[in-house]
Amino acid sequence: MTSNPKRYRFSEAPIWKVQREYYEEKGTRAWNNDQVPQYITSNPMIAAAYAEMIFGFLQDRVNRGNGFEPVHIVELGAGAGRLAFHLLKELCQLVDYVGISLPPFRYIMTDLAMDNVMAWKAHPALQTFIAEGLLDFAQFDAVHDSELNLIVTGTTIREGDLKQPIILIANYFFDSIPQELIYIGEGKVYETDVYVEQPEHHDSLQPAEWLDQIHLSYEHRRAPEYEQETYPYRNVISIYQEQLEDSHILFPAAGIACLERLNRLTSSGFLLITADKGDHLLDSWKFAEPPELVLHGSFSLTANYHAMKYVYEQKGAEALFPPHHYKNINVGCILYLDQPLDYHHLRLAYRRCIERFGPDDFFNMKWWVDRNLDSMELQQILSFWRLGGYDAEFFIQSTKRISSLLPESNEDEKQDLLRGIQRMWSSYYVMEQRYDLALDAGLILFEMEMYEPSKYYLEISVHEEQDEVVSTVFYCLAICCFELDFIEDAKRYLQKLLELEPDNEEALALMNY
């Protein structure tokens, strides 16, 4: 380490610059292997919960006589793009299913890294939404930007342009942008400065390496400016002075400023839907230690939902957070809207999809299921798969166990498996790190002797993985074709199998069939 660590105000420390560099350098590869966590905030279950709340909001706007102007849904830091895909798919299905008149809507995916924006624009799974005018993209810097420059339409959304309230989605967002760090002691407010001790030759390190090798230490400095009546968040700071002692508090000044800039795009307020490691209960900040960076390539901290909730409640907003403690992720809504209690459908959707049983509950259950999968029966696997919205990740994890249970399964269970595979495939979002889902689906269907759908998925696998096809796939395809009376196709697949394994006795025997 260097011998002279430098002192910084926490929100101005170089960790935030390196954080930006990490995402700009990695692009969508940042989410490979869940290095930067994405599953917990991007799976079909949380997307369906968000879609239900947005659907309720659209109903509420109609009931208030605001059913004609479009509603813009802006996702801040849209990551790999998986949440947007699942959410739009579910929201469109809800609209089609109910068939009532609702305001038109447009979803805008944003990120700091332009490479991510262009990767979403080119993603095959998003093309239908783009073509229908439901999806656009914008590069957006949460610390500085105040406009949205849309990539597809080429238009710019500026202050006052929108008539409807704007819906903001912010998952793992507020914990990853600059925060102030203050300390409350003996009723006084201190700024907590950070000393950053860097390794030698730090200029040659990649962002993830640099974050892994630095050392942080803290020192308090009296900060009377937080106690002045002119400080914009004086009310919440006074609460901390009155009720906390010996407590370090991450304060989301940059996050609130970002919300304020986006709020100025409309004259009607905003709905914020957010999920993060974030505490909305004041007790959670009592005697809080200085923060430690949670490293996952980039880093994250704890979001201060209590401050955001308090600031906007003082302005007349309604804030919805679970009454219970969260384990992994806290999902909340802030309704910074005229007469927020009148948004009955939205509030009911929150109660139903978050408070009663929400994404944190689901993730806690999944943690247990992942570790006990080998003892689960097929009906239990099917039930949890349905609960998770026929998620591909769970199916991939479960194929070995499903295969072992098939000999004892009944026809109803097999039909439910087929239906689940079809549902899963229709909502599969391919990420930077590919997985041959079609192969797993095709082999499970082959084991169930469902030869037509098995052939469909196995042929997709062969087409997409041309250089890595294993002989088993050609054998299964040959059998499927024989069973379906596609004799010439069967022999063609057998020939491909024999090119890989010239002495394969089963293939040689079948060639003479």
Q: Map tokens 């370090």 to a residue.
A: 248
For residues 422 and 8, give the distance between their C-alpha atoms in angstroms, rounded to a whole number: 54
pLDDT at position 504 is: 79
For residues 64 and 77, give the distance between their C-alpha atoms in angstroms, rounded to a whole number: 31
Of 78, 100, 86, 75, the C-alpha closest to 51 is 86
Q: What is the pTM of this model?
A: 0.92
pLDDT at position 36 is: 46
Of 148, 169, 168, the C-alpha closest to 159 is 148
Q: Map tokens 């949440």 to a residue.
A: 83
Write out the chain's pLDDT in tens, 513 residues.
455 788 999 999 888 888 877 777 765 555 444 444 578 899 999 999 999 999 999 999 999 999 899 999 999 999 889 999 999 999 999 999 999 999 999 999 999 889 899 999 999 999 999 999 999 999 999 999 999 999 999 999 999 999 999 999 999 999 889 999 999 999 999 999 999 888 877 677 787 778 888 888 999 999 999 999 999 999 999 999 999 999 999 999 999 999 999 999 999 999 999 999 999 999 999 999 988 877 766 777 899 999 999 999 999 999 999 999 999 999 999 999 999 999 999 999 999 999 999 999 999 999 999 999 999 999 999 999 999 999 999 999 999 999 999 999 999 999 999 999 999 999 999 876 568 899 999 999 999 999 999 999 999 999 887 777 788 899 999 999 999 999 999 999 988 888 888 887 787 778 776
pLDDT at position 118 is: 94
Of 358, 300, 307, 367, the C-alpha closest to 331 is 358
Of 353, 25, 333, 282, the C-alpha closest to 170 is 333
Taking the alpha carbons of 219, 225, 227, 231 in that order, is the dihedral positive or negative?
Answer: negative
Residues 6+ apart with CB under 8 A from 380: none
Contact 264, 186 (CB under 8 A): no
For residues 161 and 183, give the distance between their C-alpha atoms in angstroms, rounded to a whole number: 40
Strands 188-197 and 215-222: antiparallel
Paired tokens of 186: 């003996």
Identity at 264, one-letter amino acid code: R
Paired tokens of 208: 């993830």
Of 509, 503, 477, the C-alpha closest to 490 is 477
pLDDT at position 434 is: 67
pLDDT at position 26 is: 61
How far are the Cα atoms of 316, 362, 456 from residue 441, in angstroms, in the given order? 51, 24, 10
For residues 81 and 19, give the distance between their C-alpha atoms in angstroms, rounded to a whole number: 19
Contact 247, 181 (CB under 8 A): no
